[in-house]
Structure 1
Amino acid sequence: MSVQRSTLIFAWILLLPALLYVTVIVAYPLVDTFILSFTDASLKRTTNWVGWANYSKIFNDTFFQVILRTFIWTFFSVSIKMIIGTFGAAMLNAAVPGRALFRILTMPPWIVPMAIGIFMWGWMYNGQFGMISGMLQRMGFVDGPVAFLAYGNTAFWATIITDVWIGVPMVTLYMLAAMQSVPQDLYEAAWTDGAGRWYRFRRITLPLLVPSMVTMSMLSLISTFNSFDIIWILTRGGPNGETTTMIIDTYKTAIGSNKYGEGAARAVLICIFLSIFCLCYFRITSRFTGGEKR
């Protein structure tokens, strides 16, 4: 018993730094935010308990539009990143001359500091001297300058394109690593049987990549759902709120309007949504690992 007890104590000692980190960095701020969401905290000195009032203010027509916009923005951004990243990884995995150079060239969007990359895209979207508007005019697609960030629809898609540009390298490298882990014997057997490249990709590569694709989709979804820098630097949630997502709305409420209680309630709602996404992810991955009976 003494040996078992000493082993148990030693195990807890090893776990203590991680437990302290989770408690101080994760658990305490989360609990404090949850408590703050039931108050009218602001710049005033006194804070009153308001119960569910902050949550009742959230569920109005405007915020439902914000929630829907956030899901649409996340869906298209993650989907495009996964499609481009997967096929990009397939091309980088092919035996072509200069493959190492092409792999290096996929890194700049990920290496360049995010703020610098976003400012670069902001200049490109500019209607007066932006590169995209100038090219469209030169090719005759438009008659005059196009200010992409001045209109709701174009600004919405402009932020998605920028997010895709920043996120594709990570997806590409992750999927490339997953493709390189596929046993080569399967490809050789299929090639011996006369299977073409596209057939091998559909029947061997894609099925074996599904677990990795699910994991990468989840990581990208969490990152995209909480994406703040891209939208804030490009549009600040405008024009007319057409690019305001949940994280932008939370920031405007808590920091912009100094309504910390209402902002905390919105942050709790974001945490709930992401927790649901994580639960769905664990259920899906458990099926691939055999942890759940079908």
Structure 2
Amino acid sequence: MTGTRSAITFAWLLLLPALIYILTIVGYPLIDTINLSFTDASLRPTVNFVGWENYQDIFNAEFGGIIVRTIVWTTFSVGLKILIGTCGALLLNAAIPGRTLFRILTMPPWIIPIPIGVFAWGWLYNGQFGMISAMLEGLGLTSGPTEFLAYGNTAFWSTIVTDVWIGVPMVTMYLLAAVQSIPKDLYEAAWTDGAGRFYRFRRITLPMLLPAIATMSTLSLIFTFNSFDIIWILTGGGPRGQTTTMIIDTYKTAIGSYKYGAGAARAVMICLFLSVFCYFYFRLINKVSRQGA
């Protein structure tokens, strides 16, 4: 009994630094943000408790549109990253000449600082001297310069393309490592039994990749949902709010309008939204994994 207690005490001592780190870096700021969301904190020296007023102000038609826009933006961006990243990982794992070079060439979007890459895409989207507009006009697909960032629909999809370009290398490298960890004996046994390439992918590669895909999807979803710099540098949330997501709206409210209490309420909503989504997402993944097994 004494040995068991000593082992438990020793385990808690090992966990103590991590617990202190979590409580200091995550717990205290989160609690402080929740407390701030129930106040009218701003540049005024006095702070008053307003209860649920900030949360009641959030739920209006405008913020409902922002939530839908954020979901669509995140869904398409993460979905394309996972799809392209999975295909890229399988191709980079194939035995082809120059495979190492192709792996190196995958990295620049990830290595280049995000603001630099986004500024480069902003030049590409420019209608007067951007390469994309010039190519479309040269191919006869457009009759004149196209200002991608000046219209709501094109600006929205332009930000998605930029985010996918930045995020695909990380997804590809992560899934490539997962593909390489799959035992080759499984493929050899399946090949000996006459299994085709698609069958091996469906019955071996995909089930073995599913945990890695689930993990990367969750991480990518959190990063993408909270992505600020890409949209802010390209469009600033415009035109006419057509690229304003929840994180952009939170920034405009808290920093742009100096409504810290209202901005904190929006930050809490983002945290709750992501927590609920991740919970149901992991439940779905576990269900699919059990059915596959």
What's the TM-score once normalised by structure 1's chain length? 0.94
Aligned: 1:206 with 2:218: no
Instruction: Tell me the residue number matched to 1:70.
Output: 70
Instruction: Tell me the residue number matched to 2:19.
Output: 19
Q: CA 1:243–1:189 in 2, change beyond 3 Å: closer, same or farther?
A: same
CA contact (8 A) 1:109 1:165 kept: yes
Instruction: Tell me the residue number matched to 2:177.
Output: 177
Distance (Å, rounded) in 1 between the aligned partners of 2:270 and 2:8: 38
Distance (Å, rounded) in 2 between the aligned partners of 1:285 and 1:151: 37
Distance (Å, rounded) in 2 between the aligned partners of 1:8 and 1:193: 50
Distance (Å, rounded) in 2 between the aligned partners of 1:8 and 1:222: 34
Distance (Å, rounded) in 1 between the aligned partners of 2:50 and 2:281: 35
Note the C-alpha offset of 1:187.
Answer: 1.4
Partner deviation per Cα, 1:55-95 (whole Å, 9 max, x = no partner): 11000000000000000000000111111111111111111
Note the C-alpha offset of 1:13.
Answer: 3.1
Q: CA 1:259–1:202 in 2, change beyond 3 Å: closer, same or farther?
A: same
Alignment of 1:205-284 (within 5 A): 205-284=205-284
Note the C-alpha offset of 1:288.
Answer: 6.9
Instruction: Tell me the residue number matched to 2:145.
Output: 145
**Aligned with 1:33: secondary structure?**
helix
Note the C-alpha offset of 1:281.
Answer: 3.8
Note the C-alpha offset of 1:287.
Answer: 4.5
Distance (Å, rounded) in 2 between the aligned partners of 1:12 and 1:192: 50
What's the TM-score once normalised by structure 2's chain length? 0.94
Note the C-alpha offset of 1:216.
Answer: 1.2
**Aligned with 1:162: secondary structure?**
helix
Distance (Å, rounded) in 2 between the aligned partners of 1:158 and 1:221: 18
Distance (Å, rounded) in 2 between the aligned partners of 1:102 and 1:48: 58
Q: Give 1:97's aligned amino acid.
A: P
Instruction: Tell me the residue number matched to 2:60.
Output: 60
Note the C-alpha offset of 1:140.
Answer: 1.1
Gaps of 5+ in 1: none
CA contact (8 A) 1:211 1:288 kept: no
How many pairs were matched up? Answer: 292
Partner deviation per Cα, 1:121-158 (whole Å, 9 max, x = no partner): 01110111111111111111111111100000000000
Note the C-alpha offset of 1:207.
Answer: 2.3
Alignment of 1:11-50 (within 5 A): 11-50=11-50
Instruction: Tell me the residue number matched to 1:187.
Output: 187
Gaps of 5+ in 2: none
Note the C-alpha offset of 1:286.
Answer: 4.5
Q: CA 1:17–1:122 in 2, change beyond 3 Å: closer, same or farther?
A: same
Distance (Å, rounded) in 2 between the aligned partners of 1:89 and 1:9: 44
Distance (Å, rounded) in 2 between the aligned partners of 1:289 and 1:126: 45
Q: CA 1:13–1:203 in 2, change beyond 3 Å: closer, same or farther?
A: closer
**Aligned with 2:142: secondary structure?**
coil
Distance (Å, rounded) in 1 between the aligned partners of 2:12 and 2:93: 44
Note the C-alpha offset of 1:24.
Answer: 1.2
Distance (Å, rounded) in 2 between the aligned partners of 1:135 and 1:273: 41
Note the C-alpha offset of 1:170.
Answer: 0.9
Q: Give 1:125's aligned amino acid.
A: Y
Instruction: Tell me the residue number matched to 2:92.
Output: 92
Distance (Å, rounded) in 2 between the aligned partners of 1:190 and 1:19: 46
